[in-house]
Amino acid sequence: MFPTDCTIRRESMTPDEVRGAVRHGATPCLNPSHAETIRVMRTRFGIDVPIPDKAPVVNLKPGDAVIVMGVTGLPRLEGRHEYTATEIDNAVFTFSRFSVVA
């Protein structure tokens, strides 16, 4: 995803800032295998972007950025397709913008 020799800057984002980036034309690059966490992103934060049929290949260059939703506290969905409400309530969701600056 990132060039081999670069500097990356990470900035925290609020859900409002992410919604604004989506409104202003950010290109979605979601992995459809994460459909359940994408559902949570939609219902919990109101961030709704289309899910592609397959995960895109992302190659960034200086000046490019990617917004990432980080999730901690959710178990792997092994043998099931949905999280419980308790699992979702106990998970921590964060948003970050990673920019390639050099």
For residue 6, give the 3-state DSSP assignment. coil
Name 87's Cβ contacts closer than 8 Å, sequence gap at least 6.
73, 74, 75
Please, which pLDDT band fits residue 36 given cuts at 50, 70 and 90? Answer: confident
**Segments making up each domain of the chain, as ranges:** 8-100
Q: Can you say whether residue 81 is alpha, beta or left, with left for phi > 0 and alpha for psi between -120 and 50 degrees?
A: alpha
Quote the CATH superfamily of domain 8-100: Uncharacterised protein PF08960, DUF1874 (3.40.50.11170)
> Residue 54 has what pLDDT?
92
pLDDT at residue 27 tops 90: no
Paired tokens of 59? 């190659």
Please, which pLDDT band fits residue 99 given cuts at 50, 70 and 90? Answer: very high
Mean pLDDT of the chain: 90
In this prediction the pTM is 0.84
Tell me the backbone φ, ψ of residue 70, rounded to 5 degrees. Answer: -95, 140
> Residue 84 has what pLDDT?
85
- Residues 10-21 have pLDDT tens digits of 999 999 999 999
Please, which pLDDT band fits residue 37 given cuts at 50, 70 and 90? Answer: confident
Query: What burial class does residue 19 get, using C-beta atoms within 10 Å of its C-beta: 0-12 exposed, 13-18 middle, 19+ buried?
Result: middle
- Residues 40-81 have pLDDT tens digits of 899 999 999 988 899 989 899 999 999 999 999 988 878 777
